[in-house]
């Protein structure tokens, strides 16, 4: 359903799996990924900067929403 449809999409998805240590966090909330670090990692992995810049913000938005929902559930659970 939401699986990448292209090689470039798979490359960016793989990149997202490597960004766990690059989270930007504020007290009680995840803000997003360190995009400078993400783009540097993409370059090191040979992933197109253009494709990364197009796809990563969309994936980041979902990641931020889901992680913050999980954190909120734990606080209220």
User: What is this structure's pTM?
Assistant: 0.85
Residue 59: closest CA among 28, 22, 76, 72: 22
Whether residue 77 is predicted with pLDDT greater than 80 in this model: the reply is no
From CA 73, how far away is CA 59, in angstroms rounded? 21
pLDDT recorded at residue 60: 96
Q: How many CA atoms lie within 13 A of 49 on its CB side?
A: 7
Q: How many CA atoms lie within 13 A of 75 on its CB side?
A: 8
pLDDT recorded at residue 32: 96
Q: How many CA atoms lie within 13 A of 13 on its CB side?
A: 9
**Residue 76 banded pLDDT, cuts 50, 70, 90:** confident
pLDDT recorded at residue 3: 85
Tell me the pLDDT tens digit for each residue of 9-54: 999 999 999 998 999 999 989 999 999 999 999 999 999 999 999 9
């Amino acid at each position: 359903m939401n699986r990448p449809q292209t090689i470039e999409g798979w490359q960016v998805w793989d990149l997202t799996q490597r960004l766990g240590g690059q989270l930007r966090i504020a007290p009680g909330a995840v803000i997003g990924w360190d995009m400078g670090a993400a783009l540097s990692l993409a370059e090191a992995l040979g992933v197109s900067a253009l494709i990364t810049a197009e796809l990563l913000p969309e994936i980041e938005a979902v990641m931020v929403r889901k992680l913050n929902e999980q954190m909120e559930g734990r606080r209220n659970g």
